[in-house]
Amino acid sequence: MEPPGVARRTVDIETIRRVIIGLACLAAATAVAPQAVAAKGWVELRATPPAGLKAGETWHAHLFIRANPRELAAAEGPTILIHDETSGNDGAGWTKFDATPVPGEPGAYTAAVVFPEAGTWTYHVHDPIAGGGYDFEPIRVAAADGGGSRLWWILGAVAGLGCLAVGLASRLGDRLRRPRDPAELSVEIRPR
């Protein structure tokens, strides 16, 4: 018999089954959720453009796609799009650079990006797995040196060759105008 004042609580077997099934589903969802999140890949940009980048210089962008091997095999490589801010934002004027796979590193890509002129540029990394992309803060690209030092080198070489030609012509002219030894100039006349 039960002591007085203590209520007896009964739980049927069906309620216990529901609680156990609910806990099992919760445990399974917790175990699978990180894998489901990781299954959808994304692109990681490992290096932004260097400070002091000049027009015409190459920025080697290193990209990494985080995805499972099946998605990597099915996906195209990522791309980088650049856009000059001064040309407006109408969709025109975007230049596309395709990234190429890095041999021996699954998911690793590199793209050689060249900003053709000085100005403020926007760049966008297109994600082939998620189908979207990532916009980054605009960067400032400095004007190129203009090749002035190379031009001066060429002008110096031309001037040097010109001086050499004038010197040789002068020496040759002196040689032609110089009087010769009279013995060399004598002419022998023979009777006929």
- Residue 76's pLDDT band (boundaries 50, 70, 90)? confident
**Within this chain, do residues 46 and 106 fall inside the same structural domain, yes or no?**
yes
Euclidean distance between CA atoms 68 and 62, whole angstroms: 19
Q: Give the rounded distance of the alpha carbon of 29 from its chain centre.
A: 40
**Within this chain, do residues 76 and 157 fall inside the same structural domain, yes or no?**
no
104: left (phi over 0), alpha (psi -120 to 50) or beta: left
Range of the domain at 47: 42-141
Distances (CA, A) of 129 to 22, 122, 189: 34, 22, 103
- Tell me how many domains the chain contains: 2
**Within this chain, do residues 136 and 51 fall inside the same structural domain, yes or no?**
yes
Average pLDDT over residues 90-115: 87
For residue 8, is it within any domain?
A: no
At residue 5, what is the residue type? G
37-51, 75-89, 168-182: segment of lowest average pLDDT? 168-182
For residue 154, is it within any domain?
A: yes
- Residue 8's pLDDT band (boundaries 50, 70, 90)? low
Element (DSSP H or E) covering residue 171 = helix 148-177
22, pLDDT greater than 90: no
Question: What pLDDT score was predicted for residue 113?
Answer: 94
Residue that has been written with the tokens 């453009």 in this structure = 49
Nearest to 93 by CA among 102, 101, 83, 103: 83
Q: What phi and psi, each to the nearest 5 degrees, are found at residue 54?
A: -110, 155
At residue 39, what is the residue type? A
**Within this chain, do residues 84 and 126 fall inside the same structural domain, yes or no?**
yes
Helix, strand, coil percentages (3-state) for the chain, rounded to 5, are: 35, 25, 40
Euclidean distance between CA atoms 116 and 95, whole angstroms: 10
50-84 residues labelled b (16+ CB within 10 A) or e (exposed): eeebebbeebebebbbebeeebbeebebbbbbbbb
Under DSSP, the state recorded for 142 is: B
Average pLDDT over residues 103-111: 90
**Within this chain, do residues 152 and 137 fall inside the same structural domain, yes or no?**
no
Cβ-proximal residues to 78 (8 Å cutoff; 6+ apart), any chain: 43, 63, 65, 99, 109, 111, 125, 126, 127, 128
At residue 56, what is the residue type? G
